Chain A
Amino acid sequence: MSLVDNRQEEGAAGRQRLLSVLAKASAGELLACWKRTALDPSVELLRGPESGLVALQGRAGGTGQPFHVGEVSATRVTVRIGSGHVGHAMISGRDSRKAQLVAVIDALAQDPAQAGLIEREIVAPLERLASEADAKLREETAATRVNFFTMVRGED
């Protein structure tokens, strides 16, 4: 693999992580982080925001044949910011303002001059919040861990 390919691969992984972290974050927390950056790029909507559905697939038995469990509402949008960078977003739910903000942040992160700030002020803090929330849920669940004893049946 050439150095260029390698870099593109890394870029894709970084962008995948950014979009996933932002999509899973709550709108309130995302907005709070965004405001702290004080960034205010000009935004041109290239597509959307558009609400629709994504068909959700599971697998029979957990690992077998895929099947449709149902659908989830989703919103997608594509923007171009003043620097010319294009950002995409698709999030579950119908919050078009959140979707647009995710797309704007995705576009800003394409700009090497802003990438560090985006990572430091938005992506990393939101990722930390998410893992803290998961850790809290795991700890609350752990308190309900049970050890059942099998009772001996019979005469003695």
Chain B
Amino acid sequence: MYVAVKGGEAAIANAHRLLAARRRGDANVPGLTLEQIAGQLSLAVDRVMGEGSLYDPELAALAIKQARGDLIEAVFLLRAYRTTLPRFGHSEPMDTGRMVVERRISAIYKDLPGGQLLGPTFDYTHRLLDPELAGDAPVDAPETGEDANERVVRVSDILGDEGLIEDDPLADASRPVADITRTPTEYPMDRDARLQTLARGDEGFLLALAYSTQRGYARSHPFVGEIRIGEVDVEVMIPELGFTVAIGRVKLTECQMVNQFQGSAKAPPQFTRGYGLVFGHAERKAMAMSLCDRALRASELGEDIVAPAQDEEFVLSHCDNVQATGFVEHLKLPHYVDFQAELDLVRRMRAEHFEAATKAADETAATDDTMEAAE
């Protein structure tokens, strides 16, 4: 039990003032602008938007600056901010099929409509530190090529046409879309609530679980059917007008994982799927999400639940880094009263322990005396 404490106001105020100075660092060095953070540390901004569950690059950049680059702290700031705002409504489901693609790859088809588009990727770099970047040397403008003007067809549609892969089941359209920010969590969760939880889940936690499935803890034989990154229109119904309007665009990363086929007496063998959809350019997270989504479909697909990644309550109740950090970090707050009670208890138990030990020793000695006397 936690009992509140009072006092320490001056020390706390001074600590926060010290924090502000340390955050700023050397005053002779120019301060970072939000444009610099959003423009040059954009993948950190994307991660904070995704796990903070709020798409706003400027606010995410501000959160990163305020948190001194501590991304979980920045996520916390963004989550706290979103609770202060009213919700106008929801978008129409975004159509990733109409994405303005800046990267699109498939690991299962070499040649496919729309092509393999590497885009701005770390893949195939040598991971050697570049001393040039210590300065601010000018960068070559990107090379351009001729846009083939092909439709970037979903890989799942190519497989789906032959019936080789399961369809995305459309649940009852009249059922409201789950929202874990509005409704208390209940297990088992439906897939919409699971996907929402995973989309804002901690990248490191989901990455480790995804890795565990590859190492044999709920193996699912995954292939990257497709990863696509790019911008999608956000369309919202405006009640005053009676039609939808695009209110802007958001960048998304989508991963379609294609997993080992299965069949049953009722269904012919076909590939199964895991899905990942994350704000911004967040390929690792989207891949981890799709592997975890597939693992969590174990009971739906009639698989034995044998590994942590398949345990819905374990995965979904521990993947939120704001919840996790809140509970872990609260341990450092004053627990004086709590600990005092524990101290008293341990002292009493020790006293009882030693008392019992002395009594037992006395009894043994007494027994020995009696035995000696009998002899």
B54 touches A53 (CB 8 A): yes
B116 touches A74 (CB 8 A): no
B196 touches A73 (CB 8 A): no
Most chain A C-beta atoms within 10 Å of own C-beta, residue among B59, B178, B195, B243: B195
Q: Could you tell me the distance between the alpha carbons of A67 and B117 in the complex, rounded to whole angstroms? A: 28
Q: Could you tell me the distance between the alpha carbons of A12 and B181 in the complex, rounded to whole angstroms? A: 34
Q: Is B148 an interface residue (CB 8 A)?
A: yes
B236 touches A90 (CB 8 A): yes
Chain A residue contacts of B96, Cβ below 8 A: 58-59, 62
Chain B residue contacts of A15, Cβ below 8 A: 241, 243
Q: How far is the CB of B112 from chain A (nearest CB, A)?
A: 11
Q: Is A54 an interface residue (CB 8 A)?
A: yes
B168 touches A71 (CB 8 A): no
Chain B residue contacts of A139, Cβ below 8 A: 144-147
Chain A residue contacts of B85, Cβ below 8 A: 51-53, 73
Please tell me which one of the listed residues A68, A91, A138, A143 contacts residue B90 in the complex, with CB atoms under 8 A apart: A68
Q: Which of A97-154 contact B (CB under 8 A)?
A: 134-148, 150
Most chain A C-beta atoms within 10 Å of own C-beta, residue among B82, B144, B247: B247
Chain B residue contacts of A62, Cβ below 8 A: 96-97, 154, 156, 168, 254, 256, 275
- Beyond the given A68-B178, A140-B142, please list 12 additional residue pairs across the A-B interface where CB-CB is below 8 A: A24-B233, A54-B91, A55-B89, A57-B177, A65-B192, A67-B193, A67-B196, A69-B279, A88-B240, A90-B245, A141-B102, A147-B110
Count B-side interface residues using an 8 Å CB cutoff.
Answer: 81
Q: Could you tell me the distance between the alpha carbons of A53 and B179 in the complex, rounded to whole angstroms? A: 14
Spell out A's residues near B (CB within 8 Å).
Answer: 12, 15-16, 19-20, 23-24, 50-74, 76, 78, 88, 90-94, 134-148, 150
Most chain B C-beta atoms within 10 Å of own C-beta, residue among A19, A67, A134: A67
Q: Could you tell me the distance between the alpha carbons of A94 and B234 in the complex, rounded to whole angstroms? A: 15
A142 touches B148 (CB 8 A): yes
B117 touches A72 (CB 8 A): no
Query: Chain B: which residue is nearest A139 at the CB level?
Result: B144
Tell me the dominant secondary structure on chain B's binding face: mixed
B168 touches A55 (CB 8 A): no
Q: A19-B245, A54-B236, A62-B254 are in contact. Are A69 and B196 (CB under 8 A)?
A: yes
Chain A residue contacts of B256, Cβ below 8 A: 61-62
B273 touches A54 (CB 8 A): no
Q: How far is the CB of B101 from chain A (nearest CB, A)?
A: 7
Q: A69-B199, A139-B146 are in contact. Are A23 and B248 (CB under 8 A)?
A: yes
Please tell me which one of the listed residues B100, B111, B154 contacts residue A138 in the complex, with CB atoms under 8 A apart: B100
Chain B residue contacts of A142, Cβ below 8 A: 117, 144-148
Q: Is B21 an interface residue (CB 8 A)?
A: no
A70 touches B199 (CB 8 A): yes
Q: Could you tell me the distance between the alpha carbons of A49 and B179 in the complex, rounded to whole angstroms? A: 27
Q: Is B50 an interface residue (CB 8 A)?
A: yes
